[in-house]
Amino acid sequence: MPRFRRSDAGDNRERLLEAARAVFAAAGLTAPMREIARHAGVGPATLYRHFPTKEQLFAEAFAERLHACYAVVEDGLADANAGRGLCRVIERLGELYARDRGTTAAFVAAFPGALDFTADRERALKSLAELVRRARDAGQVRPETTLDDVVLVLRAAGGIQAATPAARVAAVRRFTTIALNGLRAAAPVHED
- pLDDT value at residue 98: 82
DSSP state for residue 176 in the 8-state scheme:
H
DSSP, residue by residue, 2-60? -----HHHHHHHHHHHHHHHHHHHHH-TT--HHHHHHHHTS-HHHHHHH-SSHHHHHHH
Whether residue 143 contacts residue 131, with contact meaning beta carbons closer than 8 Å, is answered with no
* CATH code assigned at 18: 1.10.10
Q: Is the pLDDT of residue 120 over 90?
A: no
In degrees and rounded to multiples of 5, residue 69 shows phi and psi of -60, -45
Q: Could you list the residue range(s) of the whole structural domain that residue 116 is in?
A: 62-183
Whether residue 62 contacts residue 104, with contact meaning beta carbons closer than 8 Å, is answered with yes
Cβ within 8 Å of residue 55, ≥6 positions away: 111, 114
* CATH code assigned at 100: 1.10.357.10
Q: Is the pLDDT of residue 163 over 50?
A: yes
State how many domains the chain has.
2
Regarding whether 114 and 39 lie in a shared domain, the answer is no
Mean pLDDT within 90-119: 75
| 57 domain-assigned | no
Say whether 166 sits in a helix, a strand or coil.
Answer: helix
Average pLDDT over all residues of the chain? 86
- pLDDT tens digits, 17-59: 999 988 887 787 788 999 999 999 999 999 999 999 988 898 8
Regarding whether 5 and 100 lie in a shared domain, the answer is no
Q: How confident is the model at residue 4 (pLDDT cuts 50, 70, 90)?
A: very low
What span, in angstroms and rounded, lies between the C-alpha atoms of 101 and 35?
19
The residue among 24, 29, 141, 163 whose CA lies nearest residue 82 is 141
The residue among 101, 183, 189 whose CA lies nearest residue 148 is 183
Give the amino acid at 183: L
In degrees and rounded to multiples of 5, residue 174 shows phi and psi of -65, -45
Regarding whether 121 and 43 lie in a shared domain, the answer is no
- pLDDT value at residue 28: 77
Prediction pTM value: 0.75
| 138 domain-assigned | yes
- Per-position b or e across 38-52, b if 16+ CB within 10 A of its CB: ebbebeeebbeebbe
The larger pLDDT score, comparing residue 89 to residue 67, is at: 89
